[in-house]
Amino acid sequence: MRIGIGYDIHRKVKGRPMILGGIIVSADEGLLGHSDADVLTHAIMDALLGAAGERDIGTHFPDSSEALKGISSLELLKETVSIIEARGFEVSNVDATIIAESPRLEPYIEDMREKLAACLGTPSGNVGIKATTNEGIGDVGGGLAVAAIAVALLRQA
């Protein structure tokens, strides 16, 4: 068994959709990033890569790559799963928390779990997603950004 942790944060901006866990979330602002800026999926990817002893997502999927501009993070997650499988591992489970003052995320959690589990090749019961606020503290608490943290457990395939 191997454990990894991942973290990501993106600034909110007008004129982009907010995508979390591969789901479009109804919000006045989206997230700024080279890809679709899905902080939840990015944190999960880093947790998976760390557990497999790999470098971070910026190494595997650099923001300098024009081919990756605007790409769905779910496509990057599928590639991440291929990377860990090539190292002889498979996903046992993932647990993640989204940190955002708004919007309210509870209505989207189950759809996120289903979508992410399909990409991870594991039952949705093996994917935990929670949402919390930052209690008004810092950029996340001030509503300027959204962050996510994730832990992944891999097992030998």
The pLDDT of residue 60 = 97
Q: Which residues contact 22 (CB under 8 A, 6 or more apart)?
A: 38, 41, 72, 73, 74, 112, 115, 116, 119
The model's pLDDT over 138-154, given as tens digits with 9 standing for 90+, comes to 999 999 999 999 999 99
Domains of the chain: 2-156 (3.30.1330.50)
The pLDDT of residue 129 = 98
* Rounded average pLDDT over 22-32: 97
Q: What pTM was estimated for this model as a whole? A: 0.97
Sign of the alpha-carbon dihedral angle for 20, 25, 29, 30? positive
The pLDDT of residue 103 = 95
d(CA 30, CA 100): 12
Q: In sequence order, which ranges of 1-141 are alpha helices (DSSP H)?
A: 39-51, 57-60, 73-86, 109-120, 138-141
| Number of neighbouring beta carbons within 10 Å of residue 30 | 20
d(CA 52, CA 48): 6
Q: Answer with the residue of higher pLDDT: 157 or 147.
A: 147
d(CA 74, CA 69): 14
- Do the strands 89-99 and 127-132 form a parallel or antiparallel pair, or are they unpaired? parallel
The model's pLDDT over 34-80, given as tens digits with 9 standing for 90+, comes to 999 999 999 999 999 999 999 999 999 999 999 999 999 999 999 99
| Number of neighbouring beta carbons within 10 Å of residue 89 | 22
The model's pLDDT over 87-138, given as tens digits with 9 standing for 90+, comes to 999 999 999 999 999 999 999 999 999 999 999 999 999 999 999 999 999 9
The pLDDT of residue 50 = 98
d(CA 20, CA 105): 9
CB 32 within 8 A of CB 10: yes
The pLDDT of residue 87 = 97
